[in-house]
């Protein structure tokens, strides 16, 4: 190995270990984000998880049917019913004061008109009322409406069954079927190359997501060292020593590539060992060697893209402050639109299309292909190709910018 | 011998060339002073010698070889010590020396020996373990110089190596630099401090606006065949006399005139008397380098 290249690598490594802010950005920041975001988004990845949204039922009917509906609603685990008196104003006040997010008002005559389509008997319809806290997420509002509709359908079906039973002289208990527990008849199965049937979890979204984000933050130490070299005449001295510019860049690529791989190992260890200490499940990484190699291929491609991007920013910026602002804001934008901060599936369709422009999204897609779908190397190629093309473009642009700057001085 | 022949250089988009047909002969094993105001072309010339720029016209040779041939034969033959502290503040003194030695391609025992001799030369023994950012200005200058000596260069280019240091460090640096030719190194020294150049340089070139205005030994430059006359008057110097004798105003009513010979002095005195000028003070002959420099480069303020 060239002693010159070795000297360059060693210098970058020592300089990085002395850059406390850079180390904080590279190792502590992603650890904190992984822990916080894994906790925050845990329920977003768990179908049927308990949602911290309470409701009350104001039963003005007090019939067997209204009580059966309440029993049916109680069986849905997602929303939490709290007891209250049957006073509509008190329920409205409770929503205003955020004691509960919703109040369902069952009008008088609800039971009598259970099987009478609205207005079909010439009587005006009095619908069920749902009082809602306007700040409650529309998705939760819709989910609760669907839960009411399902419970209402079940109560109607019970009533029809009772009436049909009467025709055949069977004994009937109005509302009696409400106690029956039906098994969960829908089972979600993740589609993967093997037959393992676990769903992606919050930790599997957040560990690769924040790992990618942290890898791109090499922009801070790379640019701070590069700008010191440029401003203090060190680059000039190195060039006068006969070091070609491409060797100087190569001398920066490898140490930061290694740093990125150390980040990858550390964040995986955080996912496996630290995240469970905070009540979430542990990160599941592929066990087979080919999948592990695929995982590393994605990690390597993300790293090349991140370091090349950092070199481009370092070449554009004139001061460390500029590099911090341009690089930091650039990373945050790439993370925001790339599904790092907010999972892509939460975004509207237009934003999901925009996410396709972010290199961080390409990296995350690659990690998901390996970790969630257990995809083959061929499945990874689109992500890898985009990341490597981005790396090549950034690196060539950095070289071109530096040559242009030299030519301007020449 | 470093021979610079008819070197011209123009920066892209510049209206005037930075160097115009510059020719210099710099003997091996001495300290050669390069003087000039800001923007004179010194840094351009240093950059050409360091290989950072390539001249479109002219030739530069070191001991009969072009600079490219010299570098191909010995990549460490020419070293540059920039005016800035061109090292890594977050690295220690020895770490910086090890890095730059490695960047020169030195390894193993050779690298160790060179580092030790650079440390000894610059008297950095007491601060070897310190980080560069913790050093005083004088120690930083010494480290900057030590790095330049790691490759035992034949030609050492020093760009204002004493800027911002205390008198003790300056004297130490000057003594050290003056001792370098004994070890076979030719030094090209740029500075704004005339007394430094007078103290350590055997030959000097004064350049301005890309042109060599004077070149030779200190003796040659100070004892010009066209003697300088320093005059202090009670009235302003008449314009026609100023033009004819290439007068430079050193301060109000104080002028430096160029005489064709000492024999021209009586005639000038007559002309001054005829013009009604009263002489308060007069000094002919021996001048210092600063006076020559100011006279050659004029007194107009530079960037």
Q: Dump pLDDT digits (tens) for A287-301.
A: 889 999 999 999 999
Average pLDDT for A268-284: 89
Whether the pLDDT of residue B177 is over 70: the answer is yes
**Would you place residue A197 in the very low, low, confident or very high pLDDT band (cuts 50, 70, 90)?**
very low
Q: How far is CA B163 from CA A403, B137, B144, B289, in A?
A: 30, 9, 12, 19
What confidence tier does A348 reach under pLDDT thresholds 50, 70, 90? Answer: confident
The reply to whether B17 touches chain A by the CB within 8 Å rule is no
Q: Which range, of A17-21, A46-50, A379-383, averages the lowest pLDDT?
A: A46-50
- Higher pLDDT pick, A127 / A52: A127
Residues A170 and A204 reside in one and the same domain: no
Computed over every residue of chain A, the mean pLDDT equals 85
Q: Find, among A249, A254, A259, A257, the residue nearest to A396 by Cα.
A: A249
Whether residue A14 lies inside any domain: the answer is yes
Task: Return the H-helix or E-strand segment holding A63.
Answer: none
**Average pLDDT for residues A305-332, to the nearest whole number?**
92
pLDDT of residue A117: 65
Torsion of CA A323, A327, A332, A333, to 10 degrees: 120
Give the residue-averaged pLDDT of A37-48: 72
Long-range CB contact pairs, A10-15, < 8 A, 24+: A10/B99, A10/B102, A11/A251, A11/B88, A11/B91, A11/B95, A11/B99, A12/A225, A12/A251, A12/A252, A12/A255, A12/A256, A13/A255, A13/A258, A14/B90, A14/B91, A14/B95, A15/A221, A15/A225, A15/B88, A15/B90, A15/B91
Given a cut of 80, is residue B86 above it in pLDDT? yes
Q: Are residues A108 and A175 in the same domain?
A: yes
Antiparallel, parallel or unpaired: β B65-66 and A129-132: unpaired
Inform me whether the pLDDT recorded for A344 exceeds 90: no
pLDDT at residue A9 tops 90 = yes
CB contact B107 to A (< 8 Å): yes
Specify the fold of B224-285.
Alpha-Beta Plaits (3.30.70)
Give the residue carrying structure tokens 């290694």.
A258
The confidence band for B69, taking pLDDT boundaries of 50, 70 and 90, is very high
**Nearest in space to B253 (alpha carbons), one of B213, B271, B280:** B280
- Please give the Cα distance from A239 to A261 (Å, whole number): 30
Please name the residues between 7 and 46 in chain A that touch chain B, using a CB distance below 8 Å: 7-8, 10-11, 14-15, 18-19
Of A105, A112, A76, nearest in space to A88 by CA: A105
- Domain assignment present for residue A269? The answer is yes
pLDDT at residue B31 above 80? yes
B90, B98, B156, best to mutate vs chain A, most A CBs in 10 Å: B90
User: pLDDT per residue over A133-186, tens digit each?
Assistant: 888 878 788 888 988 998 888 888 888 888 887 777 766 655 555 566 555 566
- Per-residue pLDDT reduced to its tens digit, B214-260: 888 888 887 766 777 888 999 999 989 988 888 888 788 888 888 88
CATH topology (fold) of B2-217 = Rossmann fold (3.40.50)
| A205 in the same domain as A172 | no
B140 contacts in chain A (CB < 8 Å): none
Q: Which two tokens stand for residue A78?
A: 């997602």
A26 and A66, same structural domain?
no
- Rounded CA-CA distance A123/A109 in Å is 11
* Total domain count, chain A: 2
Q: What percentage of chain B exceeds 90 in pLDDT?
A: 53
Residues A271 and A369 in one domain: yes
The long-range contacts involving A404-408, CB below 8 angstroms and separated by at least 24 positions, are A405/A315, A407/B12, A408/B12
Query: Rounded CA gap, A57 and A88, in Å?
Result: 9
Q: Provide the domain limits for residue A380.
A: 3-45+194-409
On whether both A13 and A107 belong to a single domain, the answer is no
Residue-wise pLDDT tens digits, B111-137:
999 999 999 999 999 999 999 999 999
Same-domain check for residues A204 and A107: no
Which CATH number fits the domain that encloses residue A114?
3.40.190
Q: Which residue of A has its CA nearest to B71?
A: A242
**Rounded Cα–Cα distance for residues B114 and A252 (Å):** 26
- The two tokens of residue A400 are 């071109």
DSSP character for A100? Answer: -
Residue A21 tokens, joined: 């802010």
Asked if the Cβ–Cβ distance from B91 to A10 is below 8 Å, we say: no
The answer to whether residues B82 and B159 touch, using CB atoms and an 8 Å cutoff, is: yes
Residue B299's pLDDT band (boundaries 50, 70, 90)? low
Rounded CA separation A377/A294 (Å):
6
Chain B positions touching A22 (Cβ under 8 A) are none
Residue A186 belongs to some domain of the structure? no
Residue with the larger pLDDT of the pair A287 and A360: A360
Using the 3D structure, point to which of A128, A153, A179 is the last residue of a domain. A179
List the single residue in B with minimal CA-CA distance to A230. Answer: B86
Residues 6+ apart with CB under 8 A from A407: B12
Provide the mean pLDDT of chain B: 89
Considering only CA atoms, which of B18, B29, B22, B3 is closest in space to residue B187? B29
Total residue length of chain B? 303
3-class DSSP state of A56:
strand
Other CB atoms within 10 A of residue A147 CB: 18
Q: Where are the domains of chain B?
A: 2-217, 224-285
**Whether pLDDT at A7 is above 90:** yes
**Tell me, what's the pLDDT at B57?**
86
User: Contact B103/A8 with Cβ under 8 angstroms?
Assistant: yes
What pLDDT, on the 0 to 100 scale, is given for residue A115?
75
Query: pLDDT confidence of B172, banded at 50, 70, 90?
Result: very high
Do the Cβ atoms of A3 and B105 come within 8 Å?
A: yes
Q: Would you give the end-to-end CA distance of chain B in angstroms?
A: 33
């Amino acid at each position: 190995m060239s002693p010159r290249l070795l000297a360059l690598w060693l210098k970058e490594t020592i300089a990085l270990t002395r850059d406390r802010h850079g180390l904080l950005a590279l190792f502590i920041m992603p650890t904190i984000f992984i822990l916080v975001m894994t906790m925050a988004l845990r329920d977003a990845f768990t179908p049927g998880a308990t949602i911290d949204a309470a409701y009350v039922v104001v039963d003005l009917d007090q019939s067997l049917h209204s009580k059966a509906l309440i029993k049916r609603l109680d069986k849905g685990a997602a929303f939490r019913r709290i007891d209250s008196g049957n006073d509509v104003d008190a329920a409205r006040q409770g929503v205003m004061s955020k004691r509960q997010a919703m109040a369902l008002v069952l009008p008088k005559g609800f039971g009598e008109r259970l099987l009478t389509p609205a207005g079909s008997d010439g009587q005006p319809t009095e619908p069920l009322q749902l009082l809602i806290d306007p700040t409650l997420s529309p998705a939760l509002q819709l989910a609760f409406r669907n839960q009411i509709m399902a419970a209402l359908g079940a109560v109607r079906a019970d009533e029809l069954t009772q009436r049909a039973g009467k025709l055949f002289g069977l004994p009937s208990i109005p509302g009696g079927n409400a106690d029956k527990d039906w098994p969960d008849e829908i089972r979600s199965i993740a589609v993967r190359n093997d037959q393992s049937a676990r769903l992606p979890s919050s930790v599997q979204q957040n560990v690769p997501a924040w790992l990618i984000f942290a890898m791109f933050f090499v922009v801070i130490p790379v640019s701070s060292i590069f700008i010191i070299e440029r401003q203090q005449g060190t680059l000039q001295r190195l060039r006068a020593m006969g070091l070609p510019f491409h060797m100087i860049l190569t001398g920066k690529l490898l140490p930061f590539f290694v740093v990125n791989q150390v980040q990858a190992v550390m964040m995986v260890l955080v996912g496996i060992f630290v995240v469970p200490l905070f009540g979430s499940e542990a990160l599941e990484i592929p066990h087979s060697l080919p999948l592990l190699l695929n995982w590393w291929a994605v990690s390597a491609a993300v790293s090349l893209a991140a370091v090349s991007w950092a070199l481009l920013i370092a070449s554009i910026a004139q001061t460390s402050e500029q590099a911090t602002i341009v690089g930091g804001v650039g990373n945050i934008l790439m993370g925001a639109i790339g599904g790092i901060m907010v999972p892509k599936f939460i975004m509207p369709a237009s934003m999901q299309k925009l996410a396709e422009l972010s290199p961080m999204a390409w990296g995350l897609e690659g990690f998901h292909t390996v970790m969630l779908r257990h995809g083959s190397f061929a499945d990874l190629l689109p992500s890898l190709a985009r990341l490597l093309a981005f790396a090549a473009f950034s690196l060539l642009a950095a070289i071109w910018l530096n040559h242009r700057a030299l030519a301007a001085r020449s | 011998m470093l021979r610079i022949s008819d070197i011209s250089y123009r920066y892209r988009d510049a209206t005037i060339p930075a160097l115009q047909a510059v020719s210099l002969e710099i003997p091996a094993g001495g300290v050669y002073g390069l003087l000039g105001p800001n923007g004179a072309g010194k840094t351009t010339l240093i950059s050409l010698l360091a290989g950072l720029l390539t001249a479109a016209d002219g030739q530069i040779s070191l001991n009969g070889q072009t600079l490219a041939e010299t570098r191909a034969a010995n990549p460490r033959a020419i070293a540059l010590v920039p005016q800035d502290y061109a090292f890594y503040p977050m690295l220690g003194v020895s770490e910086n020396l090890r890095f730059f030695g490695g960047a020169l391609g030195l390894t193993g025992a050779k690298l160790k020996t060179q580092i030790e001799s650079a440390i000894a030369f610059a008297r950095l023994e007491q601060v070897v373990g310190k980080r560069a950012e913790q050093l005083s200005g004088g120690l930083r200058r010494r480290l900057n110089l030590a790095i330049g000596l790691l490759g035992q260069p034949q030609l050492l280019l020093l760009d204002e190596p004493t800027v911002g240091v205390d008198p003790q460090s300056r004297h130490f640096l000057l003594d050290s630099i003056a001792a370098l030719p004994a070890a076979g190194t030719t030094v090209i020294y740029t500075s704004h401090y005339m007394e430094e150049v007078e103290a350590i340089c055997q030959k000097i070139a004064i350049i301005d606006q890309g042109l060599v205005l004077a070149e030779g030994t200190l003796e040659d430059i100070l004892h010009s065949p066209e003697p300088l006359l320093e005059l202090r008057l009670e009235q302003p110097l008449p314009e026609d006399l100023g033009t004819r004798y290439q007068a430079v105003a050193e301060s109000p009513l104080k002028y430096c005139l160029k005489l064709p010979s000492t024999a021209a002095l009586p005639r000038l005195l007559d002309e001054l008397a005829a013009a009604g000028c009263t002489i308060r003070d007069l000094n002919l002959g021996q001048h210092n380098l600063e006076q020559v420099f100011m006279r050659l480069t004029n007194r107009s303020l530079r960037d």
